[in-house]
Amino acid sequence: MDALIQFLFPKGFHYPEIHVPAFTGHPLFSIGPVSYTSSHLAMLLVMAVLTVLAILATARMKGVPSGIQNFVEMVVEGLVDFIRGVGGEEAVKRVPLLGTLFLFILLSNWISVVPLLTQTSWLHKPTADYHVNFALALTVFVLYQFTGFRANGFGYVSRWINFSGFKEGVLVGVIMVIVGLIEFFSEVFRLLTLTLRLWGNMFGGEITLGVMAALLIVPGFALPFVGLELFVGLVQSLVFMLLTIMYFLFALESHDSHDESHGEGHAQGSHGHAPAHGHAPGQVAA
Amino acid sequence: MEFAGLAAGIAVGLGVLGPSIGVGLATAKAAEAIGRNPDAAGTIRTTLILGGALAEGLGILSFVLGILLWTRIG
């Protein structure tokens, strides 16, 4: 055994040094009380890439697209078709928000597998910094609550504070109040899980890349995990967008049809077009 | 704090057990559904990704708990 170790590790066996990424970006400079971190810089890079892509694609638009315009049109069309398939026309109205979220998170996720980019101390993968994810989740949260209030009026609150069950008896009333409380806590929980799902996946991916690069000593053996990281990044940005669509649809759902359509939703869900029901624009208009 | 590392490992290991079973069951059912009705593959895939993400979120919470414990080591 000793001979084997002596043969494999002529300089003696040492545990590999594993580079563990930081939870957040480290501060680069500060203006007043606000310090700007390496995540900010990486976000600026992502935004610059997206902006330049958009400007290049729309600079000389042609009737028959080619080159970069063709590519961007393909991406946008695919995105709109996907969103329409999931959420119907109500979701298509919100493509500017959803598409921006998707593209921003996608590029932020993929920035970490570009060689020599986030390995420097100047850049930190934005979605592996929970402040960024919390900001995204908070934006979505505020927007869908606002949409719910605008669509349902003040009756939107009745899904959390509901005393109408007391008409049918004390027991039903108490159950309705408890259901409202659970709904309220699930709203707050959504904010938390939306943040932590993205952060956990992306930070876990960073750790995986670091650990595999350290354990698989031969250069290039960690490449399959880079592929895995690309896939996880795509899936997680899709998931963030899908959940945003779902939260918008739940907020738009009027409470009167809430209970019946809930039962229907399960029955229809098994037939495979769950979100298409009950969101006709006429029904939603308050 | 001397058992923090052990606690972190157990928390992540046990916490990931449930979601992994859940995601496995969901994927099995989705594969079955696509086999029965290949035309609905797109919708089934979307639903699968959504359900998988919701199940996975709880596993991720245990991962975050593990990280919080791990920062207490040493």
Res. A61: pLDDT tops 50: yes
* Least CB–CB distance from A235: residue in B49, B60, B61: B49
B residues 10-29 lying closer than 8 A (beta carbon) to A: none
Instruction: Check CB contact of B53 with chain A, cutoff 8 Å.
Output: yes
Q: Do B61 and A193 touch (CB under 8 A)?
A: yes
Give the closest-approach CA distance of B59 to chain A in angstroms: 9
Which is higher by pLDDT, A261 or A113? A113
Cα angle A136, A140, A144; round to 5: 175
Tell which CATH architecture fits domain B4-70. Up-down Bundle (1.20)
Instruction: Check CB contact of B47 with chain A, cutoff 8 Å.
Output: yes
Res. A5: pLDDT tops 80: no
Instruction: Check CB contact of A201 with chain B, cutoff 8 Å.
Output: yes
Per-residue pLDDT of A68-82, as tens digits, reads: 888 999 999 999 999
- The reported pLDDT for the residue numbered B22 is 92
- The reported pLDDT for the residue numbered A273 is 44
Which is higher by pLDDT, A117 or A282? A117
Residue A284 located in a structural domain: no
Distance of CA A147 to the CA centre of its chain: 19
- The reported pLDDT for the residue numbered A267 is 41
Containing domain of residue A179, as a range?
A: 41-50+66-113+126-256
Determine the residue of chain B that is closest to A241 in CA distance: B50
Residue A133 located in a structural domain: yes
Res. A259: pLDDT tops 70: no
Q: Do A242 and B44 touch (CB under 8 A)?
A: no
Q: Sorting pLDDT into bands at 50, 70 and 90, what band is A171?
A: confident
* Least CB–CB distance from A272: residue in B44, B53, B56: B44
Residue A273 located in a structural domain: no
Domain tally, chain A: 1
Chain A CB contacts of B67 under 8 Å are 23, 203
Residue A31 located in a structural domain: no
Res. A262: pLDDT tops 60: no
Res. A285: pLDDT tops 60: no
- The reported pLDDT for the residue numbered A270 is 41
Q: What percent of chain A has pLDDT over 70?
A: 88
Mean pLDDT over B32-56 rounds to: 88
The residues spanned by each domain of chain B are 4-70
Instruction: Check CB contact of A157 with chain B, cutoff 8 Å.
Output: no
Residue A272 located in a structural domain: no
Mean pLDDT over A113-139 rounds to: 86
Res. A274: pLDDT tops 90: no
Which is higher by pLDDT, A238 or A169? A238
Question: What is the ipTM score, two decimals?
Answer: 0.79
- The reported pLDDT for the residue numbered A256 is 58
Residue A87 located in a structural domain: yes
Chain A CB contacts of B47 under 8 Å are 269, 272, 274
Chain B CB contacts of A236 under 8 Å are 53
Instruction: Check CB contact of A246 with chain B, cutoff 8 Å.
Output: yes
- The reported pLDDT for the residue numbered A122 is 83
Q: Quick one: which of A126, A125, A236, A145 has its CA closest to A190? A: A145
Instruction: Check CB contact of B41 with chain A, cutoff 8 Å.
Output: no
Q: Sorting pLDDT into bands at 50, 70 and 90, what band is B1?
A: low
Res. B63: pLDDT tops 50: yes
